[in-house]
Each structure stands twice: as structure tokens, then as C-alpha cells.
Amino acid sequence: MKAHDGMYIDGAWRDADGRDAIDVVNPADGQVIGQVPAGTALDVDTAVRAARAALPGWSATPPAERAARLSALRDVLVARKDEIAETITAELGSPLKFSQAVHAAAPIAVASSYAELAATYAFEEKVGNSVVHHEPIGVVGAITPWNYPLHQIVAKVAPALAAGCTIVLKPAEDTPLTAQLFAEAVHEAGVPAGVFNLVTGLGPVAGQALAEHPGVDLVSFTGSTAVGRRIGAAAGAAVKRVALELGGKSANVILPSADLAKAVNVGVANVMSNSGQTCSAWTRMLVHRDQYDEAVALAAEAAAKYGDRIGPLVNAKQQERVRGYIEKGVAEGARLVAGGPEAPREEGCYVSPTVFADVTEDMTIAQEEIFGPVLSILRYDDEEEALRIANGTVYGLAGAVWAGDEAEAVAFARRMDTGQVDINGGRFNPLAPFGGYKQSGVGRELGLHGLTEYLQTKSLQF
Ligand code: NAD
């Protein structure tokens, strides 16, 4: 893997301020595959200054030209998609096929959607005797996690570029090579110097410096609720805009009229995908008591098939954390029907696909985000109880409802406190707003709603 030993600032790779470096480790075998510089507050400051200096030019660039740069960026991502997939497999551990089909393909779709939105969005509208201009918010500080390393970068950078904002990105320390590859793509796409800048580094150092920098107008953060809360507090104190995409504990509600086998199988696949490291994963399956035993048997059988198909977790710390949750589930009285806390292999950060039955609402594994391949199956007596359980966590990011009749599923979905619901296995839509109710976050990403996060309005009266 190619690694740059500098920061991409003001259109070029520049020496980092300090000498500290971060090892990039392949979680499938523990091998160090590269090193990137650990940025300091000075690196962040240099990058923010470059972004600020580039802002007047980029914000005044006609939307059609910004759209052309985004199309060029999409084309570079397409041309380099194999390299992207291989890089993500090497630093995240996801199986290559999944990296190709999801990690490389989704950002291409998102970049494409913003190329189109930049070209077609009405940045000016007439409201009575006013003309309302939708202007870029300014300099964006983007902080991203490792679980969908490129998707989460593109979900922030593409709308910010479309809006006319300039950006400083601080990617996750586990997946910085993907971020460096993205910086190369931005450069190749002809985005002017200073419009996009990359500072690699540790969260509490470079991330915090970026979140607190007075030259940043909007902080867009994706990651844990704990860090998001701190970033939100700092942004509030500075009266600056903030967008937070945080954790989830989404419910997969299987109503009695549903096709049970399909709902269970798709539900298990959803949780195991990306080794369970998906913020929107349906980690709680809710089944009517009359169908409960059948659903548990189906889920255990489905999970067993994933044994060799999922990759490791991202690092040893996450592996330990997830195994700790599995032990806690057992200790609190849940019944293991697949997997368990033992590591399935000696090498690599693997966790067995795990399914718990007899999970009750008050258990830790029913409330906290595990971020691993662990499914909890809960029992409900009637629809009202199902709704209460579904809405009974601090989170509200995603969810699913299955029913024989689509209208029945929709009626239930409308009562769920959550930002997205897939009806009878509805597919991921890269244009639909993505984001959380309650403690899953503030703001929305993707599509038109994702674009408006990066805009502010100015009304001129005539
Ligand atoms: P994390 O919050 O520790 O890290 C996310 C990013 O924040 C990284 O770039 C990290 O370096 C940075 N960071 C860490 N401490 C910081 C600080 N004090 N100031 C500024 N930046 C800081 O999260 P993680 O453990 O790496 O990722 C997993 C978590 O992210 C899970 O809880 C998951 O639910 C959440 N997540 C949510 C979404 C979503 O879209 N809602 C997507 C992916 C991950």
C-alpha cells in the first residue's frame, strides 16, 4: 500500500509539523501495512488557513463548474475503484467482494448524485418580495470514522463541494490510507488548491483541534455518541453549526403477517454485513411470541452460514469490546444460539457471528451499540409492545418493518422514532436523507437534504 508521509494541504503533499506517525494495521493478520503522520494543532491550523484562503474563489465558482469538478472526481473514483477496494480491505479487513460492491461503489453513487445536484439545485429562489440566496456556510471541518471509510468521507466532502464550501478532513486513524487515496483523487479531478485539505492524526489531538478551530464554520462529525456529544458542546459554545451522525441500535420489527423466513434471513444478513460495524444495522430483531421459536431457529441457522464469510473487526480493541458485550449478554441471562465470545481464529481480530435469544429490553445488549456481528432477538406480545420496545432506546437512526401488507408496515413505521425505515426489505437509497432521531444525531446526510446542511440563506427584499 502506498502511504504519503505528509499532509495534503493547499493542493500539495506537505511535510507534517511533528515526527509522530500512526501505524496502519491489517486486522486480518496484524501486519503493519503503512504509516501516516500524526497531525498536530499546527497542521490543522495550516489546513484551515488554506481552506479559508480558498473560500472566496470556490464559493464564487459557478455551480456548473463545481458540478464539473464533482463529475471529474466521480470519474477518478470509478477509474481507481479496484485500488480503493483493495486499500479498504487491507486497512479495514472487509472481504474484497464487499469492498468492491459497497465500500467502493457507494461513494461513486454519492459523488455522482452531487455532481447532478450541484448542476440542478436552485441556489436562488423568489419568495414574495424577496430573493433568497442559498450560500455556502464556509469552511467545513469533517471528522470521519473507519467503518465505511470512503463513503463517510464522500458523504461530507461531495455536498460541501457542491455547496461551494471548502474543507479540512480528519479521517479515522484506522483507515487513513483510503483518505489519502481520496485526496489524490480530488487532486486528479482538478479541484483547486486549498478547497480540500487532509490532516491525518489522532482524534483527541488533530480531531479536537479541528472541531475547536475558530476558523471552521461547520463541524460535520460521524462517529461515537460520546465524542459527538463533546463536539456538539464545543460547537454550541462557539455558536457554530454542527452536524452529528452518531450511533444506533435499530429495530427490525417482524409483524405476524410477514414472510418470517425472508424477514429473518435478510435481518441476519443486515447485522453480519461489514462484520456488524454499521451504525444503521438492525441489531434488535423483534418477533411475535407465537413465531419466536421458529425465528430463533432460522436466525441461528442463518448466522452459522456466515462463519467464514465475514471479515475481522477493525482492530484488537474493537474485538475485545465486542467479546466483552457477548460475555455480558451471557451474564445477564440471554441465551446464546449461535457464536459466542471465543475468538474463532488465532490470528486476526475475528468475532464469531453471534445470535442471542431470550433478550429482554433492560439487558445491556438490547440497549447499547455493540458494533460487531451480534444480533439480539426480543419477544413481543402485541403491536403496542413491539412499538414500545422498538422506540425504547436512546437511539433512532434506522430500522425495518416486515408485514404481509405494505400499508400495515408503513403504518407501523410512521410510529417509529427513527430517521430511516426499510419496508419489507427496501433497498438502501443514496439520495434519501440519512440521519438520526434522538441521540443518533443532528442533521441529515445524502441527497438534497445533505446538500442543504452546507448552505445558509440570505434574503434580499425588493
Ligand atoms: P470515534 O467517535 O472514536 O471516532 C470517530 C472519529 O472521531 C475519528 O476520526 C476519531 O479520530 C475522531 N475523534 C475521536 N476523539 C475525538 C475528539 N475528542 N475530538 C475530535 N475528534 C475525535 O468512533 P469510533 O469508535 O472510531 O467509531 C465507531 C462509532 O462510530 C460507533 O459508535 C458508530 O455507531 C459510530 N458511527 C456512526 C455512524 C453514523 O452515520 N451515524 C457511522 C459510522 C460510525
Q: Which residues are catalytic?
A: 245, 279
Distance 205 CA to ligand 1 centre (A): 14
Strand 354-359 versus strand 335-338 pairing type: antiparallel
Which class is domain 6-246+439-461?
alpha beta
- Whole-number pLDDT of residue 306: 87
141 forms beta bridges with 168, 219
Query: What's the start-to-end Cα distance of the chain, in Å?
Result: 58
pTM, whole model, 2 decimals?
Answer: 0.97
Over the chain (462 residues), the average pLDDT of each successive run of 10 is: 92 96 97 97 98 98 98 98 98 97 98 98 98 98 98 98 98 98 98 98 98 98 95 95 97 98 98 97 98 98 88 97 98 97 93 98 98 98 98 98 98 98 96 97 97 98 98
- Grid cell for residue 432: 434519501
For residue 398, what pLDDT is reported?
Answer: 98
What is the signed CA dihedral for 385, 388, 389, 390, rounded to 10 degrees? 120
The cell for 138 is 464556509
Please name the residue that has the C-alpha cell 491525518.
200
Question: CA separation (Å) from 246 to 124, 228, 254?
Answer: 32, 7, 25
Residue nearest to atom 12 of ligand 1 (CA): 203
Ligand 1 and 418: CB distance under 6 A: no
Q: What is the pLDDT of residue 186?
A: 98
Domain 251-429 has CATH 3.40.309.10: yes
What pLDDT is attached to residue 1?
72
Say what the pLDDT of residue 323 is.
97
C-alpha dist (Å) from residue 355 to 267, 297, 305, 323, 398:
12, 10, 12, 13, 20
Kindly write down the DSSP assignment for every residue of 280-340, as one continuous string: T---EEEEEGGGHHHHHHHHHHHHHTTTTTS---SSHHHHHHHHHHHHHHHHTT-EEEE--
What residues contact residue 10 under an 8 Å CB cut-off, 6+ apart? 50, 53, 54, 193, 194, 197
Residue ranges covered by each domain of the chain: 6-246+439-461, 251-429
Same fold, 6-246+439-461 and 251-429: no
Which residue's CA is the closest to the ligand 1 atom numbered 11?
Answer: 203
| Residue 196: predicted pLDDT | 98
| Distance separating alpha carbons of residues 56 and 295, to the nearest angstrom | 58
User: Do strands 441-442 and 241-245 pair parallel, antiparallel, or not at all (unpaired)?
Assistant: antiparallel
Residues in a beta bridge with 378: 286, 359
Rounded to whole angstroms, the Cα distance separating 49 from 66 reads 21
CA of 242 to the centre of ligand 1 (A): 15
